[in-house]
């Protein structure tokens, strides 16, 4: 399966600006991207597939083929889909670069789910992963993209299925998400947070990540 | 499989007090409990199992057997485990009552996962569901209970496995979680929110639930 991993190289993770500097956000986003690429490479799909393409807004140094496209996310992904013409025998997966908890196993469950369009919903109405096996389906990440992608699939007569995965649902966007990486992560993103001084705080309610 | 569903009847959902009155929180918590019981009844496990027991802090009117225990959550669940002596042939599941997105399918994946202790992690380090097949394992929901339960299992020599389910990971505790119910729910809890005037707001970032 061909996989594309969109990456915002220039202004990554703006909703973490309250807890990380811009340089730290770049480093942390790069660590999460490395986590995702490692899990993709370890998944069964990797055996007979091309390596994932990092679809980035600016050149980045990363252990994967890179395609630079400065357009907004949806336009850049749709341009990729336009070129590939996805179908049952030529699916294209779109996997976000901030899924620091994604594992080979959770990605395999995504890739092995049948359907013209397969969605891994993100928290807050987002779409964290897609598998596209229909030539006419196109993405729109603006707004409640989970609902929009269901409607878009139906509008072109494509069957659509959801994948029920916590690891694929947690995109690391907001300070509360950092605790998830500390608790459940096991790769470069977690190491980066620990190195930056983040620890868990349990002052009632959900656990938070804090640093002195 | 025997299932127990803890329910805080008297002071439910205190972290929603900014958006719901105490009476509304009671109604909404009851609607979520009804969602969970419906999904449990629809799961395959229900065929040859006793009906789930609602383990409540005060008497409630609900379509299931009720056991009243006024002690704190962990003590009440552990008293239940003490009586049952869980084992490979007599497992006990603990399913939280605020899992408004739980479906029969997600619960079946929980029940069918092997292991002396099976954990469905919640957001923020919580433990949303457990399957206990070991006589010595006991719960402690305080703090980062996900980590504590892993340690507790290891300390009694029990194997422990996680279930990767978004639907079982989202316990509805905080205002942000209401959007998940509006987007992904399909039962009484979603109906209650819609009836109470909640709609989705997409003002950037994750979608939120708001009402006028």
Q: Enter the ipTM.
A: 0.95
pTM above 0.80, yes or no: yes
Q: Which residues of chain A are within 8 Å of residue B141 when distances are taken between CB atoms?
A: none
- Tell me: the pLDDT tens digits for B28-73? 999 999 999 999 999 977 777 889 999 999 999 998 999 999 999 9
- Tell me: the pLDDT tens digits for B138-161? 999 998 999 999 999 999 999 999
Nearest-10 Cα torsion for B111, B127, B124, A110: -10
What's the rounded Cα separation, in Å, for the pair B108 and B130? 13
Inter-chain CB proximity B144 and A207 less than 8 Å: yes
What's the rounded Cα separation, in Å, for the pair B150 and B58? 30
Q: Which residues of chain B are within 8 Å of residue A164 when distances are taken between CB atoms?
A: 103, 105-106, 109, 165-167
Query: Exposed/middle/buried for B84, CB within 10 Å: 0-12, 13-18, 19+?
Result: middle
Work out the minimum CA distance from B207 to partner chain A, whole angstroms. 5
Inter-chain CB proximity A15 and B205 less than 8 Å: yes
Residue B108: which residues within 8 A CB-CB, separation 6 or more? B43, B44, B45
Inter-chain CB proximity B169 and A174 less than 8 Å: no
What DSSP element (H or E) covers B95?
strand B92-95
Q: Which residues of chain A are within 8 Å of residue B160 when distances are taken between CB atoms?
A: none
Inter-chain CB proximity A206 and B123 less than 8 Å: yes
| B97 φ/ψ sector (left φ>0, alpha ψ -120 to 50, else beta) | alpha
- Tell me: the pLDDT tens digits for A92-139? 999 999 999 999 999 999 999 999 999 999 999 999 999 999 999 999
Nearest-10 Cα torsion for B171, B212, A14, A16: -40
Which residue spans within A146-196 are E strands per DSSP? 160-162
The label of the residue with tokens 């029990």 reads B158
Size of interface A-B (CB pairs under 8 A): 90
Looking at the DSSP assignment, which residues form a beta bridge with residue A110? none
What's the rounded Cα separation, in Å, for the pair A201 and A143? 32
Residue A144: which residues within 8 A CB-CB, separation 6 or more? A125, B183, B200, B202, B207
Work out the minimum CA distance from A157 to partner chain B, whole angstroms. 22
């Amino acid at each position: 399966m061909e996989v594309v991993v969109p990456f915002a190289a220039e202004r990554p993770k703006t909703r973490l600006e309250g807890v990380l500097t811009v340089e730290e956000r770049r480093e942390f986003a790069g660590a999460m991207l490395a986590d995702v690429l490692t899990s993709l490479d370890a998944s069964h799909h990797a055996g007979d597939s091309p390596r994932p393409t990092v679809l980035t807004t600016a050149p980045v140094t990363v252990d994967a083929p890179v395609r630079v496209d400065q357009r907004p996310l949806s336009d850049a992904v749709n341009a990729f889909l336009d070129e590939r013409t996805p179908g049952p025998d030529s699916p294209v997966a779109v996997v976000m670069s901030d899924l620091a908890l994604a594992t080979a196993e959770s990605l395999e469950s995504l890739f092995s789910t049948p359907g013209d369009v397969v969605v891994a919903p993100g928290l807050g109405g987002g779409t964290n992963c897609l598998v596209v096996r229909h030539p006419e389906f196109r993405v729109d990440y603006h707004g409640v993209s989970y609902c929009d992608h269901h409607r878009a699939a139906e509008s072109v007569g494509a069957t659509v299925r959801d994948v029920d995965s916590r690891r694929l649902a947690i995109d690391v966007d907001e300070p509360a998400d950092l605790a998830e990486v500390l608790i459940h992560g096991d790769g470069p993103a977690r190491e980066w947070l620990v190195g930056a001084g983040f620890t868990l705080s349990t002052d009632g309610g959900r656990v938070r990540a804090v640093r002195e």
